[in-house]
Structure 1
């Protein structure tokens, strides 16, 4: 359920609300730099996401003004997704986070593995 928009306490709170969840950053990354994709194409780009969750996440991103949903009056209906200017700026802001993840992935995995082994 989306957060009550009146309860944000800072900019980070807004950003985390918009990109929160496992799949939203992956959706944003798939739609980088002007890429337009149909639902099935998006699903193929994001391994492991279910149709239901992808639909829900896309609806939230559209509602937040991050993703544009274009419906073409055809039979069957053709729907395409792309980033808005706001979405492109958010993707730009995520680049350093992705670089951090690349640089520290092994460390994070090692810590998670050690923590799991100490619990078992």
Structure 2
């Protein structure tokens, strides 16, 4: 699967373009949020937390995040199959940024 991409002119700000390509999309920040808060989550737990996300969209988004090095998928060899998702070390480095974004929202919501 290809890495996610956002089309912007990043010739002046290549690192900004890279960051946007990693976190772009409707669900990625929410997935990072829930995995940060809960540690490891099974697929169905994550889907319930995200409420309106479809099976296909969640599956595709998790694969993109795996390819980008943000999410780790651990499959247990048992029946029924058990799969857990967690943030990688790289994925965990986004948590402080998300906390700052939440704080910004709290500070400016009433404006």
Fold match (TM-score > 0.5): yes
Partner of 1:69: 73
Question: How many pairs does the alignment contain?
Answer: 105
Identify if the C-alpha distance between structure 1 residues 104 and 36 changes in structure 2 by more than 3 Å, giving closer, same or farther.
Answer: same
Correspondence 1:3 to 2:1 = no
Extract unaligned runs of 5+ from structure 2. Answer: none
Contact 2:23–2:29, Cα closer than 8 Å, also in 1: yes
Pair 1:38 & 2:42 matched: yes
Residue number among 92, 97, 119 corresponding to 2:96 in the alignment: 92
Q: For 1:101 and 1:31, how far apart are their aligned partners in 2? A: 20
2:41–2:84 contact (8 Å) kept in structure 1: yes
Deviations 1:21-67 (A, max 9, x none): 11000000000056100000001111211111111110000110100
Question: For residues 69 and 51 of structure 2, what CA distance do their matches in structure 1 show?
Answer: 24
Structure 1's unaligned 5+ residue stretches are: 108-120
Which of the pair is proportionally richer in helix? 1
CA distance, structure 2, for counterparts of residue 54 and residue 101 of structure 1 = 25
C-alpha RMSD over aligned residues: 2.1
Q: Which has the larger radius of gyration?
A: 1
Conserved? CA contact 1:71–1:80, under 8 Å: yes
Query: Secondary structure of the residue that 1:75 maps to in structure 2?
Result: coil
Larger CA deviation: 21-30 vs 93-102:
93-102
Aligned equivalents of 1:37 and 1:8: distance in 2?
34
